[in-house]
Amino acid sequence: MLRTLPGVVTVALGSVLSVAAPAHAAPALRFQSVQYDSPGRDDRSNGSLNAEWIALVNTGPAAVDLNGWRIADAFRSYTFRDVTIAGRGGVVYLHTGRGTDTATHRYWNSGSYVWNNTGDAATLRTRAGGVHDTCVWGQSSGRTSVLC
């Protein structure tokens, strides 16, 4: 009996360790790209404002509820409400101007441009306020967008 006890303890301990709860990884969200300088003249029309956008991509397998997540620059922030980004390549665009929110296109409802053409930084914050991702760009002649 004494010889089999260590084997039983090892098997029992292995079973307990194998059922431990897995660690929760952060969602696989990141900035994909930014159209920081809308094409054409910056005339503050709604069409021009909505041609300025930032896109989030979900590279993970599971959909992510964005409710309470924020995108911000140094002066303003947008808080997502009632939107889930699909898994495995799902994309959500945040446009600067006014519009009707859909599952993949959200609208900041701003009457002025958010992203600076001469360089800016976008920050993605979790609903708890932690920094999840950033996208930074500088001025570049002839460029109006950037991949993050």
pLDDT in tens, 46-71: 999 999 999 999 999 999 999 999 99
Q: State pLDDT tens for residues 4-18.
A: 444 443 444 444 344
Q: State pLDDT tens for residues 123-132.
A: 999 999 999 9
Q: Does residue 23 lie in a domain region?
A: no
The predicted pLDDT at position 53 comes to 98
Q: What is the domain-level CATH number for residue 62?
A: 2.60.40.1260
Q: Are strands 29-35 and 145-147 parallel, antiparallel or unpaired?
A: antiparallel
The three-point CA angle 24-80-51 to 5° equals: 125
pLDDT band at 139 (very low <50, low <70, confident <90, very high): confident
Contacts of residue 97, defined as CB under 8 A and 6 or more positions apart, other chains included, come to 46, 47, 48, 49, 50, 52, 107, 108, 109, 110, 111
Spatial separation of the C-alpha atoms in residues 142 and 148, rounded to whole Å: 18
Q: Does residue 44 lie in a domain region?
A: yes
Q: Does residue 9 lie in a domain region?
A: no
Query: φ and ψ at 106, to 5 degrees?
Result: -115, 155
Residue 41 pLDDT exceeds 50: yes
90-104 mean pLDDT: 98
**What amino acid is encoded at 61 in this protein?**
P
Q: Does residue 17 lie in a domain region?
A: no
Q: Does residue 74 lie in a domain region?
A: yes
Query: φ and ψ at 105, to 5 degrees?
Result: -130, 120
For residue 136, give its domain range: 29-147
pLDDT band at 24 (very low <50, low <70, confident <90, very high): low
Q: Does residue 5 lie in a domain region?
A: no
The predicted pLDDT at position 20 comes to 42
Q: Does residue 10 lie in a domain region?
A: no
Judge contact between 106 and 85, C-beta under 8 A: no
User: Number of folded domains in the chain?
Assistant: 1
Residue 85 pLDDT exceeds 90: yes
Spatial separation of the C-alpha atoms in residues 52 and 118, rounded to whole Å: 14
pLDDT band at 140 (very low <50, low <70, confident <90, very high): confident
Q: Does residue 141 lie in a domain region?
A: yes
